[in-house]
Structure 1
Amino acid sequence: MKKLILSAAIVLGTLTVNAAVPQTISMTQSVFAQDEFTEVALDAVPAAVKSTVEKSFPNTKLEKAYKNDKNQYKLEISTGDKKYTVFTDASGNIIKK
């Protein structure tokens, strides 16, 4: 009987040692490429885009404008000391990003 209990203890002891083997976890980091915007002069911004900014965001000032290859505009506007970024297409339609 003692041999049976001793054998059971040894078997259970080896099972718990094997259960404690560390597992490796791999993590993947995803990077999303954004459309490249290049700065353009405020005079180069289409009138439709300027009109949309004036109508949609009254009492704001257009600070900087950027354009990408898809003919979309990234506009930095400000009111007082608050700054906002707005995305539009060339027709003045606001794009949600």
Structure 2
Amino acid sequence: MFDKVKQMMEMKRQADTIKKELESTFVEVEEINGLRIRISGAQKFKGIQFDEKFLEGRDNARLEKDLLRCLNAAIKKSQQVAAEKMKSVMPGGFPGM
């Protein structure tokens, strides 16, 4: 029983370490039209940049659609990075549960 508790404590320690790593890991998604989103592995947005030409000829609905698409792509990519890092801590999920 103590071995299981010890194992769980070690997994928590590793997960906490990875959480800190994810806070300083960044991914960037860039759309063809000049929109760039930067997000951390902890899913916190760090920046939105766009070229001036991104705004040219776009109405509000198109801007919203492009921005949402890029934001969702950034979140997905960030989640993939986080999942990859967490695999090292829990390669088979939680054993015995």
TM-score bracket, normalised by the shorter chain, equals under 0.3
* Bigger RCO (CA 8 Å, 6+ sep): 2
Give the TM-score normalised by the residue count of structure 1. 0.26
Q: Which structure shows the bigger proportion of residues in helix conformation? A: 2
TM-score by length of 2: 0.26
